[in-house]
Amino acid sequence: MIRRARPLLGTIVAIAADAAPAAVEAAFAAIARVHACMSAQRAESDIGRINRDAHRHPVAVDPWTFEVLKRALELSEATAGAFDVVVPGNGARHTDIVLDRGAVRLRRPAQVDVSGIAKGFAVDVAADLLQRRGAGAGSVNAGGDLRFLGAKHAAVNVRVPGQPAQSVQLPPLPYPAYATSSGEFGARLYDPRTGASGGMEWSVTVAATTCLVADALTKATALLGPVNSLLKRFDAAAFALDANGHLHAPAG
């Protein structure tokens, strides 16, 4: 089992895989591609160019960026805007994003930030690549966005909000991907529908078949609660963990 970790996606990405060293390097390269294309902090990334130019003319983007935006719009529609990659503040929302043949256009000036879904996508592409290269066991972990390789995986533990030294183990589930949103380290919950923000006293963990879905649904579930129809649509389950370490039953 090879174990490697590198700073990417604004966090530490850890890969463990029973694969050749070249396969692990290729997985990190795939994550680096996502980082380069989708960072909102890089002026010449796809997202940087969209934010600067796409309200004036269509902006051609990497196929992975196009795919992430396509999935983001699907999740925005399904959650009635509770998940939205358009930063609130100037009246723009996900409906102002137009995707057409590999290019992106904005109907009005807007700031797009895909960090709430791109990290999960990066974990997925790395995990898929490793499995295509023969890895039958292991994991890809990007700051809590976690996906296991193979049919068996280790237990998943979630930190208790406000008590990072303590954790609670999730019950066994058939899902390979997990993501958690919490108020740890000063993180705040933003409602893209209103622009309001507030602290999170609980953490929300979503388990799903892909990390992209789990990543996006943690934000929507934190705002909407565990909507059964939404979780079933995306084949997911949701958990909430309170500050007392009580794990609330999954829905989905």
Could you read off the pLDDT of 92-134 as tens digits, one per residue? 999 999 999 999 999 999 999 999 899 999 999 999 999 999 9
Q: Are residues 63 and 20 in the same domain?
A: no
Give the three-class secondary structure for 124.
Answer: helix
Q: Are residues 109 and 119 in the same domain?
A: no
Q: Domain range for residue 76?
A: 46-113
Whole-number Å distance between alpha carbons of 142 and 252: 24
Q: Are residues 108 and 119 in the same domain?
A: no
Four-point Cα dihedral 44, 47, 51, 53, nearest 10: 60
Among 166-170, 182-186, 235-239, 247-251, the range with the most confident prediction by mean pLDDT is: 235-239
Give the three-class secondary structure for 104.
Answer: strand
Q: Are residues 192 and 245 in the same domain?
A: yes
Q: Hey, what are 219's tokens?
A: 């934000």
* pTM attached to this predicted model: 0.90
Beta bridge partners of 14: 5, 141
Helix 115-132 / helix 63-78 crossing angle, nearest 10 deg:
120
Q: Are residues 50 and 30 in the same domain?
A: no
Cα angle 172, 174, 180 (rounded to 5 degrees) comes to 70
Give pLDDT, residue 150: 87
More confident site: 184 or 61: 61
Q: Which of 31, 116, 28, 22 is nearest to 69 (CA)?
A: 116
C-alpha of 163 from chain center:
23
| Residues across the chain | 252
pLDDT digits (tens, 9 = 90+) for 171-230: 888 999 999 987 555 466 667 777 666 666 778 999 999 999 999 999 899 888 888 899
Q: Which amino acid is at 111?
A: Q
Q: Which of 111, 65, 117 is nearest to 89 (CA)?
A: 111
- Cβ atoms 1, 17 nearer than 8 A: yes
Q: Are residues 82 and 203 in the same domain?
A: no
pLDDT digits (tens, 9 = 90+) for 18-47: 999 999 999 999 999 999 999 999 999 999
Mean pLDDT confidence for 68-97: 93
Mean pLDDT confidence for 138-154: 91
- Cβ atoms 153, 131 nearer than 8 A: no
Q: Are residues 119 and 32 in the same domain?
A: yes
Give pLDDT, residue 252: 45
Structurally, the chain folds into a number of domains equal to: 3
Among 2-11, 29-38, 80-89, the range with the most confident prediction by mean pLDDT is: 29-38
Give the three-class secondary structure for 245.
Answer: coil
